[in-house]
Amino acid sequence: MTPEPDLATQTYAERERLGALLAQLTPEQWNAPSLCAGWRVREVVAHLTFPFRTGPLRFAAGLAAARFSFDRYCDTAARRDGARMSDAELLAALRDNVRHPWQPPGGGQAGALSHDVIHGLDLTEPLGLPPAPAERVATVLTRADGRALAYFGVDLTGLTLRATDADVTLGAGEHVVDLPAKDLLLTVTGRRPLPATTVTAPARPRRGTSG
């Protein structure tokens, strides 16, 4: 399946951006905690690059060993590779695969972009580094659907979350909360708690996606 050109371009740009940031990290920053529970920055990078370094047969064997739990397999692989790979090897695994065609099963190019942007925030936020551009984050948000949000266990009942720096709104509740796009993404992926349900303004028509 041919990738959607705009989504592919944004995916490659996000990998280049993350590679440039990671190239400046100190050893202490590589070992700093990320937003993923139990993972340091290096485990996040190991996870980001895992699809580039793993063929179908190895993936199938690893998944079987994890009793077909995708989350268990990803956690085991990230911890293993984060421990055995050097900072330079992890960085090279990302920079050498900027234009890798990997797409998550059933997720397409939008899934690849979401994977990189979300996990990019997992490492840039705790390090105080710049997030992905707001419009790139908005692209991820507009491709989200109820199934994607359900995966993270986030319930937007009664809420409308509205980006302040991009044209995207999630949810249809009476309680409207305005957030920067990256904070909106961190919220709907369970990285941050849902904001207090304080009405800030009448809800405007949703654009792009539903909650």
Domain residue ranges in the chain = 5-132, 137-211
**199 pLDDT band (50/70/90 cuts)?**
very low
pLDDT over 60 at 210, yes or no: no
- CA nearest 137: which of 116, 156, 157? 116
Give strand pairing partners of 179.
163
Where is average pLDDT lowest: 55-69, 88-102, 192-206? Answer: 192-206
Kindly report the average pLDDT of the chain as a whole number: 87
Instruction: Identify whether the C-beta of residue 34 lies closer than 8 Å to the C-beta of residue 46.
Output: no
d(CA 187, CA 193): 6
144-187 tens-digit pLDDT: 766 666 667 788 889 999 999 999 999 889 999 999 999 999 99
Q: CA triplet 46, 48, 49: central angle to 5 degrees?
A: 65
Fold of the CATH domain 5-132: Four Helix Bundle (Hemerythrin (Met), subunit A) (1.20.120)
The structure tokens listed for 205 are 């028509």
pLDDT of residue 17: 98
This prediction's pTM:
0.86
d(CA 148, CA 29): 30
Q: Where are the beta strands (DSSP E) in 50-199?
A: 159-163, 169-171, 175-179
- CA nearest 182: which of 95, 120, 109? 120
